[in-house]
Structure 1
C-alpha cells in the first residue's frame, strides 16, 4: 500500500494509476482536513464485490466455511478442468 498526497497524485497520476492497475497496489490519497480516499484496481474491486455477494447469504457463508475447514484438515480434493467439467455436465 502506498500513501500519497493529492498534490503528489496530480503530479504523478499516470505512473501511480499504472502501478495500481499492473501490480494490484492499493493507493491511499491523503487529504488535509478531509477523509482519505483509497484507489484500487478494477480487478481487486470486482473480487471484493464477489466476496461480499457470496458472504451476504448465510448458506453460502456456512458452505464456504465448511469447505475451508475440510481443506485445512487435508480432506480437500483438487480436480482437473476435465474432471470438473465431467461433474457439471
Structure 2
C-alpha cells in the first residue's frame, strides 16, 4: 500500500495511476484534517465489491466455509473438460 499527499499526487498523477492499475497497488491520498482518500483500480474495486456481496449473506458464507472444509479434507473430484467444436 502506498501513501502520498494530495500535492504530490497532483504533480505525478499519471505515474501513481499507472502504479495503481499496473501493479495492483492501493494508494492512500493524505489530506488535511484526516479526510484521506483511497485510490484503487477498477478491477480491484469490482473484485472487492463481488467479495462483499458473496459474504454478505449468512447462507452464502456458510456454504463457502463448508466447501472450503470439504476441499481441505480432500472431499473433491477432478474431471477432464470436454472440448467443443465451434462449428
The TM-score bracket by the shorter chain reads 0.7 to 0.9
What is the distance in 1 between the residues matched to 2:63 and 2:12?
44
Deviation at 1:52, TM superposition (A): 1.0
Deviation at 1:15, TM superposition (A): 0.5
What is the distance in 1 between the residues matched to 2:33 and 2:79?
52
CA radius of gyration, larger in:
2
Deviation at 1:79, TM superposition (A): 4.9
Which residue of structure 2 aligns with residue 31 of structure 1?
Answer: 31
Cα RMSD (Å) of the superposition? 1.6
Structure 2 residues without counterparts, runs of 5 or longer: 83-87
Which residue of structure 2 aligns with residue 19 of structure 1?
Answer: 19
Map 1:1-89; keep pairs closer than 5 Å.
1-79=1-79, 82=81
> TM-score with structure 2 length normalisation?
0.82
Count of residue pairs the alignment pairs up? 82
Q: Counting helix residues as a fraction of each chain, which structure ranks higher? A: 1
